[in-house]
Amino acid sequence: MKPEIVIDKKQIDDIRERLGDAEKQAPKILARAMKRGLTRMWSLETKAIAKELGIKQKTAKTRVWKRWSGRNMRGRIRVGKVGLSYIDLSPRKTRHGVSILLKGHRESVEGAFFAIPARTKHIGVFKRARESRFPIIAQRTRALADIALKAGIPDAVIMDGAATISKEVDRQIELVLKTGALPTGGKS
């Protein structure tokens, strides 16, 4: 299940009713609230995945994306279906292979080694597929989407994102009613 938030016509009508004379501001208010809620969801998802794997948030952020559609009033968080490369998990060479740092402790990967394949030109942790020299296979964790689902992260993220959007809509409406218009400076 992908964390997703959709604003329907009923919510837009409710906001227009609350605004009264300033009802033209409703789409802008919803857009700002959705963007802020989506950013909050993205941040929470990244933090939760990083905590679950025991890695840095920076590493997890490369595999979590947010997408916003103003036309459909829809926001979505997408988590990568490919696991993290072992090179991102602080690998160390050992006598029998490579050890990686996962969930705060080191795990050994027997028979693994560091290599720079000519095709990709990046260093990675690899393991031989058979006894022969080639092919070699890049070593990765489980897919981050599976890790997030197993930990129950999407449900908590959706709940918090919806709460953030609700608070932000109320804050924006209060601002419009107090000042008469939304601030126009910067990005919305």
**Which helix (H) or strand (E) element contains residue 32?**
helix 26-53
CA 169, CA 166: separation in Å to the nearest integer? Answer: 5
pLDDT band at 169 (very low <50, low <70, confident <90, very high): confident
pLDDT band at 114 (very low <50, low <70, confident <90, very high): very high
How many domains is the chain partitioned into structurally?
2
DSSP 83: P
Residue 112 structural domain: 86-138
C-alpha closest to that of 127 among 82, 86, 80, 84: 86
On whether both 130 and 90 belong to a single domain, the answer is: yes
On whether both 73 and 117 belong to a single domain, the answer is: no
Q: What is the pLDDT of residue 186?
A: 52
15 within 8 A of 169, measured Cβ to Cβ: yes
Phi/psi region, residue 95 (left: phi>0; alpha: psi -120 to 50; beta: rest), is: alpha
On whether both 125 and 153 belong to a single domain, the answer is: no
On whether both 67 and 99 belong to a single domain, the answer is: no
On whether both 12 and 71 belong to a single domain, the answer is: yes
CA 53, CA 67: separation in Å to the nearest integer? Answer: 24
On whether both 29 and 117 belong to a single domain, the answer is: no
CA 149, CA 129: separation in Å to the nearest integer? Answer: 29
On whether both 133 and 44 belong to a single domain, the answer is: no
Q: In the predicted model, what is the mean pLDDT of residues 13-25?
A: 82
Sign of CA pseudo-dihedral 130, 134, 135, 136: positive
Torsion angle of C-alpha atoms 174, 175, 178, 183, degrees rounded to 10 = -160
Q: What is the pLDDT of residue 1?
A: 55
Segment 128-162, tens digit of pLDDT: 999 888 899 999 999 989 988 888 888 888 888 88
